[in-house]
Amino acid sequence: MSGFGKVSGGLGRVVAVGLLASVLSMAACNGDRRTADRSGEDARLRTDAELLVGLPGEIQDVLLDRDPLRRAEKLAGLLRTLPPEALDDVLAAYDTVFLDVGEFEFEMLVEWWGTFDPAAAMAWTQEDWRADDLRIEMAALRAWARTDPQQALLVAETEPSLYNRRKRVASALRGWGESGEPGVLDFVESLSGSYQQLLLGVFARRLIARDGVDATLEWAAGLEGPMDLTRQNLLRRIAGAAAAEEPEKAAAWTKQFLGDDDDRTRLPEYVALRWVQRDPVATFAWLSTLDPGTDQRVAVREAYRQWLRLDKPAAWAWLEAQPDEPWSDEARGLYALSRMQADPKDGEIAVAEAAKIDREELRWATAVRTWKLWVRVEPDEAAKWYASIADEVPDFYRDHMTLVPAQKVRPMRTSAAGGDAEAEALDGSPANAEDEPELDDAPLSEADAS
């Protein structure tokens, strides 16, 4: 028994040692396989990086998750629990993972970093090449503005590029709004020009998103103080932002501000430009109910111009089915110019449409512009039409429609370099900008000339 016992004990030790070696070997193989999987199959781990342990390893595992939605959820949850002292571990984990410029993980990093050291987070976006993306800078500024909006705005203003500066300032304003601190509107109203316009739009959209259409419209209607240009611009931006969500409510809201023709608000224009993108027919049905005047005319013109850009065939078909009513004059003028620009041989259709326009100034202004395109491609037909109405043309417009012998009307030619078509004026001299009307140009009129 003792001999047997000694052999058994020795065998047991051998087996145990062998088993332990096997386990260690398997663990090593598994570790090698884990590293191989991460470095070979998972392109998110940098080829020169190692798997980390502890908190850096936990963050690294999250960043290596291949599912972007799950990765975002896990990363947000983890960062939310980390104290400022974990910054070095977080950055160490980020350094091991391949993240292309502008990926959302960087935005989440600066959002978290900005809660305790926004200046350093913003400085990092200027120093690390991986953060060379406007979206990351905007995220850092937005986080900064939640705690110190004035300082964030000062930093945003240092951007030399006007386009980027506007984006940065707009992001800082969003952060300011999210902070709950007052003063956003006062700051925006202290600005001027197109910069103020841009930021008023940001403010209005943010207000709609936060408080909803009904509450925002009620707040805007109750604003006190003079109806100066700044206040009008704010109401316009509110109208446009509301119309993007609930156009019928925005349209009804504008009526309380509409005055006589000398008191142009432009509110219908801002509503119509948003509404026409969703339901053009409903937009023009509403515009047709407005009192005649500048507000209605401008809104009809700009909304129809937008519709032509979005769906020209549908815009044409709608106008062709409309009765000849004064409220649609502006749309009819743009329709005529659009037909001519699509095919200059549609001159007879275009001038016939121009003749339906009720307002004399717009009628003849549209006729001049369409005729100048028509006469270049079909001089004989254009001449016949002019002869038939020559006695009716007011003196001012006759000066712009004086016919020359047909042989002097030369068609557009293309430059030898293959550039854009170079227009020839009717008398053979180089054409100027007015001779080549664009759809975006306002129709020629006596008011323009004066």
For residue 93, tell me if it sits in a domain. no
Q: How many helices (H) and strands (E) does the chain have?
A: 24, 2
For residue 234, tell me if it sits in a domain. no
DSSP classification of residue 278: T
Domain count for the chain? 1
Lowest mean pLDDT among 23-37, 42-56, 151-165, 406-420: 406-420
For residue 197, tell me if it sits in a domain. no
Distance CA 168, CA 138 (A): 5
443: left (phi over 0), alpha (psi -120 to 50) or beta: beta
Do residues 93 and 63 touch, judged by C-beta distance below 8 A? Answer: yes
pLDDT tens readout for residues 263-293: 678 999 999 999 999 999 999 999 999 999 8
Distance CA 150, CA 175 (A): 11
Q: In the chain, helix, strand, coil percent, each to 5?
A: 70, 0, 25
443: confidence class by pLDDT, cuts 50, 70, 90 = very low
Lowest mean pLDDT among 21-35, 105-119, 423-437: 423-437
Structural domain of 328: 311-450
For residue 92, tell me if it sits in a domain. no
* Partner residues linked to 414 by β-bridges: 421
For residue 52, tell me if it sits in a domain. no
Q: Burial of 47 by CB count in 10 Å (0-12 exposed, 13-18 middle, 19+ buried)?
A: exposed
The length of the chain, given as a count of residues: 450
Nearest residue to 79 (alpha-carbon basis) of 56, 50, 108, 104: 108
pLDDT tens readout for residues 156-212: 989 998 889 888 988 998 899 888 888 888 888 887 777 788 888 888 998 898 899
Whether pLDDT at 317 is above 90 = yes
Whether pLDDT at 219 is above 90 = yes
> Which pLDDT belongs to residue 402?
59
Higher pLDDT, 18 or 90: 90
**Mean pLDDT, range 439-446, rounded to an integer:** 36
For residue 54, tell me if it sits in a domain. no
Q: What is the mean pLDDT of the chain?
A: 79
Whether pLDDT at 429 is above 70 = no
Distance CA 303, CA 308 (A): 9
pLDDT tens readout for residues 318-363: 999 999 999 999 999 999 999 988 888 888 888 888 889 999 889 8
How wide is the angle at C-alpha 209 spanned by C-alphas 206 and 211, nearest 5°? 100
Confidence (pTM): 0.67
Distance CA 200, CA 195 (A): 9
**Mean pLDDT, range 130-156, rounded to an integer:** 93
For residue 322, tell me if it sits in a domain. yes
* Partner residues linked to 327 by β-bridges: none
For residue 422, tell me if it sits in a domain. yes
Do residues 322 and 328 touch, judged by C-beta distance below 8 A? Answer: yes
> Which pLDDT belongs to residue 431?
29
> Which pLDDT belongs to residue 29?
42
73: confidence class by pLDDT, cuts 50, 70, 90 = very high
Which residues touch 312 (CB under 8 Å, ≥6 apart)? 338, 342
Do residues 333 and 365 touch, judged by C-beta distance below 8 A? Answer: yes
Higher pLDDT, 84 or 227: 84
Residue type, 181: E
pLDDT tens readout for residues 74-92: 999 999 999 999 999 999 9
> Which pLDDT belongs to residue 95?
93
